[in-house]
Amino acid sequence: MNIKFSIVSIGAVAACISFSVRASASSAGGSGAPEPRNVPALLVSEDGKTVGTAHEWESVRRPELFNTFMREEYGVRPAAASERSRVSFKVADERDAMDGKAVRKLVDITYSGPCGKLSFRAIAFIPKTSKPAPAFLLICNRDRAKNHGVAPIDPDRREKSGFWPAEEIVARGYAAVTFYNGDVAPDDKKGGCRKGVFAAVEKRSARNAESWATISAWAWGASRVMDWIESEPLIDKSHVAVVGHSRGGKTALLAGATDKRFAMACSNNSGCSGAKLNHINLPKSESIKVITKSFPHWFCKNYSKYAGREMTMPFDQHEFIALIAPRLVAIASATEDHWAGQHGEWHAARLASPAWALYGKKGLVADAFPPPETPQQSGSISYHLRTGRHDLTPYDWKCYMDFADRHGWRD
């Protein structure tokens, strides 16, 4: 691994020298706005060859980037975690909801692992439409306490939150599906990687520096909900978006990267180790040093070796976003959310775009960092900046649904 990794580093450094990523002053939002520097070259493989076709991307460059992100950042999942035969579903409750406009299903998803069992519940409101409905699957990372005192995903709809505006989603013709990330693996620095799905899949002694961690476990949960969706005739399984906010936004990108059944990934205010580029100096934003200290359980142990190496590390988050090409990606920032590094999120979206070009598609179509409430949605990557704080709001949902509409998801 060490030997292999140093080859990666040499290749990436060489690539940096030959690859200029400097945008014009206006592209970064005017004078004084930060610029990326020494960004690893997305389309240069570890042996220094330029990747020019979708075939080369899929057979060489994408697999090497995928392996780098799994071994060095999010961790490698054990094979037993993904055996379809280990997953079963039970619809615990099915009834009309939302004044007869939707069917609500509560689905218990059970995974029988080599070391134990795990069950968690998905909530689905499916509009009553003449054909299967496209869907948005929210990885919910909030409880009432963290959601301004309101239950974010109340299945009985007594409490309503902009974090998951299920009524609005259904009114626009989309199924609203969600689950709690904590039901899959607790968001806990101390025991996070020993409980939930980890306890069902592997022995503690089997864990090492590359082992998967909680962001990967939550993305795994999204994939198990997708397993159920595939069996659900009321939902159009070819048009399912996975959505997450903040740590959930990092997770949504990983779900999109690891599971090609997701036709779109929406990453809301995901910041460091999500959509934010590292090779850009944004002192107000979260660093790898801080995130790996505060939340070591989110990442594999290897990731902490990049603390303080943002400007020199041989891979970066634009390459992570590119793993989702040629499918749809939506990235959003908020004006007050400097911690997430808005310019870093926008630049990563822009720098991921050449992967879409390999498929004859446009990624992010944008000349400059946008003003608030001006979504950039004409390519296969959507970016919007919302006025306000770190949150997932009805406006963000509107942008995600508008983007899906543009791509004919309800046609």
Residues annotated as part of the active site: 246, 390
Instruction: Name the minimum Å distance from CB 235 to ligand GTR.
Output: 27
With binding defined as CB under 6 A, does residue 377 bind ligand GTR?
A: no
With binding defined as CB under 6 A, does residue 396 bind ligand GTR?
A: no
Closest Cα to residue 316, out of 351, 367, 361, 362?
A: 351
Distance between CA atoms of 306 and 218, rounded to whole angstroms?
A: 23
Number of residues that bind ligand GTR (CB under 6 A): 7
Instruction: Name the minimum Å distance from CB 184 to ligand GTR.
Output: 15
Of residues 252 through 271, those in contact with ligand GTR by CB under 6 A are 271
Per-residue x/- track, 135-154, ligand GTR (CB under 6 A)? ------x-------------
Count the alpha carbons within 13 Å of 70 in the hemisphere toward its beta carbon.
Answer: 17
Q: 3-state SS of 270-301?
A: CCCCCCCCCCECCCCCCCHHHHHHHCHHHCCH
Of residues 54 through 73, those in contact with ligand GTR by CB under 6 A are none
Cβ-proximal residue to ligand GTR, closest one: 246
- Answer for the pair 161, 149: CB distance below 8 angstroms, yes or no: no
Comparing CB distances to ligand GTR, the nearer of 196 and 248 is 248
With binding defined as CB under 6 A, does residue 246 bind ligand GTR?
A: yes
With binding defined as CB under 6 A, does residue 391 bind ligand GTR?
A: no
Helices 214-230 and 247-258 pack at an angle, to 10 degrees, of 60
Instruction: Name the minimum Å distance from CB 117 to ligand GTR.
Output: 28
Phi, psi angles (nearest 5°) of residue 40: -55, 140
With binding defined as CB under 6 A, does residue 291 bind ligand GTR?
A: yes
Comparing CB distances to ligand GTR, the nearer of 105 and 247 is 247
Q: In angstroms, what is the C-alpha Rg of the chain?
A: 20
Comparing CB distances to ligand GTR, the nearer of 40 and 249 is 249
With binding defined as CB under 6 A, does residue 286 bind ligand GTR?
A: yes
Instruction: Name the minimum Å distance from CB 139 to ligand GTR.
Output: 11
Instruction: Name the minimum Å distance from CB 273 to ligand GTR.
Output: 7
- Figure out which of the listed residues 247, 297, 343, 347 binds ligand GTR, where binding follows CB under 6 A: 247
72: burial class by Cβ within 10 Å (0-12, 13-18, 19+)? Answer: buried
Q: What share of the chain is helix, strand, coil (3-state, %, to 5)?
A: 35, 20, 45
Which residues touch 378 (CB under 8 Å, ≥6 apart)?
Answer: 362, 365
Q: Which residues bind ligand GTR (CB under 6 A)?
A: 141, 246-247, 271-272, 286, 291
